[in-house]
Amino acid sequence: MGRFFVTSAFVYKKLRPTEKIPYKKLIVITGTIVLLQIILIKVFYFLSVIVGYYSPDFPKSVLLYLVPFAVASILGVLLVGFKYSISISLITVILASITVDNSLRFMVFIYSFLDSAVASVYLVGNRNRGGIVKVGFIISLINVVLILIFYMLQSNNLFNTVTLISIGLGALNGILTAIIISGILPIFEWLFDIATNVKLVELGNLNHPLLKELAIKAPGTYHHSIVVSSLSEAACQAIGANSLLAKVGSYYHDIGKVRKPTYFIENQFDIENPHDRLMPYVSSLIIKNHVKDGVEIGKKYRLGSQIIDIIEQHHGTMIVKYFYDKAKEMGLNPNEEDFRYPGPKPQSKESGIVMLADKVEAATKNLNEPTVTHLKNYVKNLTNEIFLDGQLDESDLSLRELNLIVDSFVNVLIGIFHHRIKYK
């Protein structure tokens, strides 16, 4: 096990600047993936030894064509990211090469390296269940071509039993890899509390029980969340952030409101505002609690740490201004800290964007026949207000990115308000 954790530490140091995963978690993920890959290699290598023992004339290397060498790289790209996947692929390829006999090392190195590299590259833009199936067929195709090349270099007779069996096992390899990944990926997601793109696609289904509950109990909040998701997705695409994470996180960012929906103005349809009978401190506490309630619900439904982070951070430490101002008007001499959300502030670009989109959607929905210029200035002022309040200090968003975000928000809002927009 020492080798696994040394390897994990090396990968962590190399990739820490680009992969936002806690130190201990990354080490455990790496150790687990490497261990799993080595176990798979050992099992198939042991089977090849048994085959070689009972059938001395049958090359034991044949069964190695069935080894799912790409499992580590696929798990790496799905759970963490592309750079991590390439690094862990190199590690497992080297370990795979030294695990087998000297005569088989070159073949295993080439075979496993190509499978792993192609899988990592392909899945960068296809991190979904369909992508897993497709990459399995791609691996099968690569294996067949490689095996034919291997046998062409060794012999002129390609049409024999050993060659055909080797080709069949190579083709089966990709299918076996896809089956293994499909089976163990949910376990890794659950074990390490990671919402992969595969899981995000599932959570983004509007028929998810939580979203259906939100639509029924808090229809105004549901509609608000859909618009926020469109704003967030467009903004992430503009700056190269994870648009799927922001989109799905937006769906769930206000999920805590299902517990007290009528205390939020977007859900008050022809009813008395319950806050009219409450003191500002109490109203502020109820409003702030939707974040805590959302985190609890998110954990109960195992939405994953990335989604829960967005829920927890989408208000940062902003002040509940309406009730703070109301308390001042009532002469209660309020303490500003009592009216601020507990935080933390957004810790990622995606969380920061959802915060901005949430604020912009809520503030612009009541604009009356805005011009494009007015809309852009209004959105820019809202963004500057949040920026100057220090809410984006820990999100890694740059000023250039904020300008791109504002432009993307305006483009989406023009589409929403197109029937009311004045262009002159």
Residues 6+ apart with CB under 8 A from 22: none
The span from the first CA to the last CA of the chain, in angstroms, equals 69
Residue 34's CB is within 10 A of a number of other CB atoms, namely 22
Q: Has residue 410 got a pLDDT over 90?
A: yes
DSSP string for residues in 330-354: TT----GGGGB---PPP-SHHHHHH
For the segment 126-151, the average pLDDT, to the nearest whole number, is 87
Q: What is the pTM of this model?
A: 0.81
Q: How far apart are CA 212 and CA 259, in angstroms?
A: 14
Give 226's pLDDT tier (boundaries 50, 70, 90).
Answer: very high
CA distances from 174 to 74, 91, 362 (A): 12, 20, 49
The predicted pLDDT at position 24 comes to: 83
CA distances from 78 to 18, 57, 203, 257 (A): 15, 41, 16, 31
8 Å CB contact between 391 and 318? yes
The predicted pLDDT at position 4 comes to: 46
DSSP string for residues in 23-40: HHHHHHHHHHHHHHHHHH
pLDDT digits (tens, 9 = 90+) for 399-408: 999 999 999 9
Residue among 353, 320, 334 at smallest CA distance from 246 = 353
Residue among 233, 242, 191 at smallest CA distance from 82 = 242
Percent of the chain with pLDDT over 90: 53
CA distances from 314 to 25, 334, 345, 422 (A): 24, 24, 8, 31
Residue among 240, 213, 241 at smallest CA distance from 225 = 213
Residue among 231, 247, 232 at smallest CA distance from 197 = 247
Token pair 């989408």 is found at 314
Q: Has residue 368 got a pLDDT over 80?
A: no
Mean pLDDT is lowest, of 95-104, 220-229, 329-338, for 95-104
Alpha helices of 193-320 — where are they, by DSSP H?
197-203, 209-217, 219-239, 243-252, 280-300, 305-313
pLDDT digits (tens, 9 = 90+) for 52-96: 667 766 666 787 888 899 999 999 989 888 888 888 888 888 887
Structure token pair of residue 131: 């992508």
Q: How many CA atoms lie within 13 A of 208 on its CB side?
A: 20
Residues 6+ apart with CB under 8 A from 52: 58, 59, 60
Residue 335's CB is within 10 A of a number of other CB atoms, namely 11
Planar angle of CA 353, 357, 362, nearest 5 degrees: 155
pLDDT digits (tens, 9 = 90+) for 256-308: 999 999 999 999 887 888 998 999 999 999 999 999 999 999 999 989 889 99
**Residue 100: φ, ψ to 5°:** -95, 175
The predicted pLDDT at position 47 comes to: 81
